[in-house]
Structure 1
Amino acid sequence: MSTENLILTEYKNQKDLHKEFCKEIQGLLRTILKQNQINCHSIDSRVKEESSLTAKVEKGGNKYNTLNDITDISGIRVITYFSDDVDKVAKIIQKEFEIDEVNSVDKRTILDPDRFGYLSLHYVIKLDTTRISLAEYQRFKDLKIEVQIRSILQHAWAEIEHDLGYKSKNSIPSVVKRDFSRLAGLLELADQEFIKIREELVKYNENVKKEIKNTPADVLIDKVTIQQLLDDKESVINTIDLEMCNITNTKISTYQDLDKEVKRLKYLNLNTIEEVQMALHQHKKQILKIATAWSQELNNMNTLRSGISLFYLAYAILGTSGSVKAVENYLNVFELDAEEERNSIATEVVKLCKHS
């Protein structure tokens, strides 16, 4: 029997085992990365198809004598959101698995700059002795798997370039080669800029708490600043939230959709943290009166989400204006309650705020 046939026979006998191995390593990587607080776009696995294996063996000539000589039968692809997370994932893999240094390669250091989409890190790994000693892993003792790590922008480039049919640099027509190089540079720059944006957001989170305390009139509302108010147990938001819970005999839950909260506040022409705080102080009485009137319905919910007072602030402000139409328009814009009930709800809100 030829070497090629021997390898294909081994492959057919072990294919199911490799599939199990892929799923085990995929799940293990998900768990390990989550424990290390690394959020990835995707972690996918695959076992090489027979046609692909046949082509590889034929191309390799005398390079492969057994199936174990082929280190990418099983494969995992880890796609990170940020390019610097590639190295973070790599360090974790180095720590958690046994690395086949000979067959591992960092293409970021060996490929031309215009091969942006292929600037990924490839590790060939196997389970270390500690895990192999566990009964559930012993059947995978001699198996290796290739792990490819790249950023989501690198992945997007590689997929599009592959779809265009120009995976090989030499196959790219000269009329578009300059375009390929320019685009590769732009995407690499974008990878770096996303890291800077992330770092700026971290700094913003760290500084905005102090700014809210010292100069709230200068702090614009957004997801971060509203979250800071929610995190401050002594803020007017939490004070009114707790009073609403006492009225409705409910508890506070931590879920809130801050994107919607910001959108609703801007609809009310509230743009700074100081304006939100002042509006809550000014309309606290109306908020609690509406909560009291609707206490039975709220009580049935068992919990009120954190920041519920912001949601009721809209009713209080618009209801105080005395315009049923203004309240009804708000309900229509944000698609709150059943359409046929919106006019009666708006009328009730105006009535409650009028007599508070």
Structure 2
Amino acid sequence: MENREKNIDEIIKWYVNVRPTYKNLASKVESIIREVLNSSGISYYTVSSRAKDIESFSKKASKEKYKNPKKEIKDMAGIRIITFVKSEVLQCCDIIKPLFDIDPDHSVDKTKELGNDKVGYRSIHYVAKLTDERLGLPEYSVFKELTFEI
């Protein structure tokens, strides 16, 4: 157990050091999404972003299921889009998917879990990376290999 605790401490120290980069990534992706949605004329309530806070990362990284939290935790940068109605969610998805390199194995459509006859949390979660084309731009190259959740 001592070895595992020491390992977690190192992982948390690593995240403290890289968190500003994830914060910057989240902000850049939020800006891209906001600009594209605004130019498309799609109605939405809000777009926001965050880097996972250190305490939240620590709790998640400590879970037994994460053998390599640095690689396995995909939501260290998160962008949230809130729409007024379900049809806007689908329109946003159609616009957002081509902008990023979406990881289908880690993305989830929670609207299907709830069913059409129930009221509750309806969301679509994409785990993504920036496209190679965008990463080729100097201001985005620092984000190579970093994932984020929309």
Contact 2:61 2:69 in 1 (8 A): no
Percent identical among aligned pairs is: 34
Within a 5 Å distance, the mapping from 1:231-246 to structure 2 comes to none
TM-score (norm 1): 0.39
Displacement of 1:79 after TM fit? 0.8
3-state SS, counterpart of residue 113 of structure 2: coil
Q: Give the distance between the partners of 2:52 and 2:137, measured in 1 at CA.
A: 27
**SS of aligned partner of 1:135:** coil
What SS is found at the alignment partner of 1:40? coil
Is the radius of gyration larger for structure 1 or structure 2? Answer: 1
2:119 equivalent in structure 1: 116
* Aligned residue among 9, 27, 33 for 2:31: 27
Alignment-mate amino acid for residue 102 of structure 1? D
Which whole-Å CA distance do the structure 2 matches of 1:56 and 1:115 have between them?
30
- Structure 1 partner of 2:16: 12
The structure whose residues are more often helix, as a share, is 1
> 1:52 matched to which residue of 2?
56
The answer to whether structure 1 residue 125 and structure 2 residue 132 are counterparts is no
Structure 1 residue 73: Cα displacement: 0.9
Contact kept? 2:77, 2:147, Cα under 8 Å: yes
Shift of 1:64: 3.7
Give yes or no for contact 1:6–1:66 (8 Å, CA) kept in 2: no
Could you tell me which amino acid in structure 2 is paired with residue 8 of structure 1?
I
Runs of 4 or more, structure 1, over 4 Å off, are 112-115
How has the CA–CA distance of structure 1 residues 115 and 4 changed in structure 2, closer, same or farther, with 3 Å as cutoff?
A: farther
Instruction: Give 1:116 deviation, angstroms.
Output: 3.2
2:97 aligned with 1:94: yes
Q: Distance in 2 between matches of 1:137 and 1:115?
A: 41
1:144 offset after TM fit, Å? Answer: 1.0
Q: Which has the higher contact order (CA 8 A, sep 6+)?
A: 2
State the Cα deviation string for residues 244-301 of structure 1 (Å, max 9, x = none). xxxxxxxxxxxxxxxxxxxxxxxxxxxxxxxxxxxxxxxxxxxxxxxxxxxxxxxxxx
The alpha-carbon deviation at position 8 of structure 1 amounts to 1.0
- TM-fit CA distance, 1:7: 2.2
Instruction: State the distance in 2 between where 1:111 and 1:58 align.
Output: 29
Query: Aligned pair count?
Result: 146
| Unmatched runs of 5 consecutive residues or more in structure 1 | 148-356
Matches of 1:132 and 1:114, distance apart in 2: 42
Check conservation: 2:44, 2:82, Cα contact below 8 A: yes
What is residue 70 of structure 1 aligned with on the other side?
Answer: 73
Matches within 5 A, 1:1-356: 2=4, 3-59=7-63, 61-111=64-114, 116-147=119-150
3-state SS of 1:26 partner: helix
Q: Which runs of 5+ in 2 are unaligned?
A: none
Point out the structure with the larger strand share.
2
CA distance in 2: counterparts of 1:76 and 1:114, whole angstroms = 28
CA–CA distance in 1 between the matches of 2:109 and 2:31?
Answer: 24
Aligned mates of 1:64, 1:40 — CA distance in 2: 38
- Aligned partners of 1:69 and 1:115: how far apart in 2? 32
Q: Say if 1:141 and 1:13 are closer, same or farther in 2 by CA, change over 3 A.
A: same
- 1:31 CA displacement: 0.7
TM-score by length of 2: 0.88
